Copies of this chain bind each other. A is one copy, B any other.
Amino acid sequence: MEPPTKDIKKIGIAGLGLIGGSISLELQELGHTIYGLVNSTSNLERAKARGLTQFVDTDPKILSNCQIVILALPISQLINPSQELVNALSTDSVVTDVGSVKAPVLNVWEKLHPNFVASHPMAGTTQAGIEAGQTGLFKGRPWVATPTNNTNPEALEVIHKLVMSLGSQWITANAEEHDQAVAMISHLPVIISAALLKAAGKASDQSDTSLAKILCSSGFADTTRVGGGNPNLGVDMASYNTKPILDVLHKYRVSLRKLEEIINTSKWDKLKEELEDSQRIRSDFLL
């Protein structure tokens, strides 16, 4: 591996969906040349039309000469990468991913590449796919790397600099602790929000007027945003972070049951305390 240069120019991105496409647009603005890998000729045409990258192909070999390669693929593809993709990556390159689960990804990729750095930008919208990439997605957002004892410190530093150039907040953490934390603050919200949509959908089927549909307001929109997101992302997170998600679902059911019991027994002073506590926790989390 060559030492990181001040001005890295050739960057490969495998996958040009929301995250990959957004990274690509930002890095182009910073003067880098981006080599994009897409999975279909229709995505190739759309990537060209949107100017997502300077070069784009469906053949992983497009990544061969890149100094940095960002794997912005669904977790399922990260965990089971094609042999063509693995073969296309130069051992001189630095490789990172953007998956929302880190321990299973490290498990696979530390064996596949000497300069692999596991990372996860904490950013998103409800959009997905080749049309979803946008600039400004990462500015001020945390971007977590989960280095291990096997991680090449120079490779870590290359990714660190790249992430800082996108305006993100660089954080390093233990992979298992990361996976537990995202289960609570990122994956659990998807499940509880999807459950709200399912309950509301069922209730409105039963109603003649579907008044709920007319009345739903910003509160419903916000609370259901992540539950109405990309189903494939939801399946990926649940299938690759199953144990932490089941743990936090259990904690959540206990919290919910407690509030229900307070309402059921008309303990309004107690409910006020609980909601004051919720308000305080939110300020504490979202300072």
Chain A residues bordering chain B, tally (CB within 8 A): 95
Chain B residue, CB-CB nearest to A201: B281
B185 and A200 contacting across the interface, CB-CB below 8 Å? yes
Q: Which of A255-284 contact B (CB under 8 A)?
A: 255-256, 258-260, 263-264, 266, 268, 271-272, 274-279, 281-284
Chain B residue, CB-CB nearest to A241: B263
A180 surroundings in chain B (CB, below 8 A): 207, 211
Interface string of A209-228 (1 = CB under 8 A from B): 10111111111111111111
Interface string of A180-211 (1 = CB under 8 A from B): 11101110111111111111111110010101
Interface string of A119-134 (1 = CB under 8 A from B): 0001111000000000
A222 surroundings in chain B (CB, below 8 A): 189, 222-223, 225-226
B211 and A248 contacting across the interface, CB-CB below 8 Å? no
- Chain A residues with CB under 8 Å of chain B are 122-125, 141-142, 144, 171, 173, 177-178, 180-182, 184-186, 188-204, 207, 209, 211-232, 234-235, 238-239, 242, 245-246, 248-249, 251-256, 258-260, 263-264, 266, 268, 271-272, 274-279, 281-287
**29 sampled A-B residue pairs with Cβ under 8 A:** A122-B216, A122-B217, A142-B214, A144-B215, A180-B207, A184-B199, A185-B217, A186-B215, A186-B217, A189-B224, A191-B259, A192-B196, A195-B252, A197-B278, A197-B285, A198-B274, A198-B277, A198-B278, A201-B278, A219-B226, A227-B282, A228-B279, A228-B281, A230-B279, A231-B279, A232-B272, A235-B272, A246-B260, A249-B263
